Amino acid sequence: MVLEISVKAAVGAPDVLGDCPFSQRALLTLEEKNIPYKSHLINLSDKPQWFLEVNPEGKVPVVKFDDKWVADSDVIVGILEEKYPEPSLATPPEFASVGSKIFPSFVKVLEEQGSQ
């Protein structure tokens, strides 16, 4: 089964992938998991009618799972991880909170630099 994904086209170049990190994340996940897909490049300033019919909010990326279009790269990657567990791209639990542990220290350094 080939999944369908709609992603942002480059501004002024409708046949080139755009600079949307959310679209790129979904595409990279498909690539890394070797999941066959067909991509639709969407010009966000001139969205095709079929796209708005399946995705009224008009956001990208969206992937078609079992005849239902799903938006939001976090949700898409979660579904892909669930349906296609190998290779696992999930963050290991021991690293899941690394950013939350670093951020307070980073803020403290910035505050100290600002007071000098």
Just list the catalytic residues.
20
Helix, strand counts (H, E) of the chain? 4, 5
CA count, 13 A, side-chain hemisphere, 104: 4
C-alpha separations of 55 from 27, 42, 51, 63, 64 in Å: 18, 12, 6, 10, 10
Helix (H, G, I), strand (E, B) or coil at 42: strand
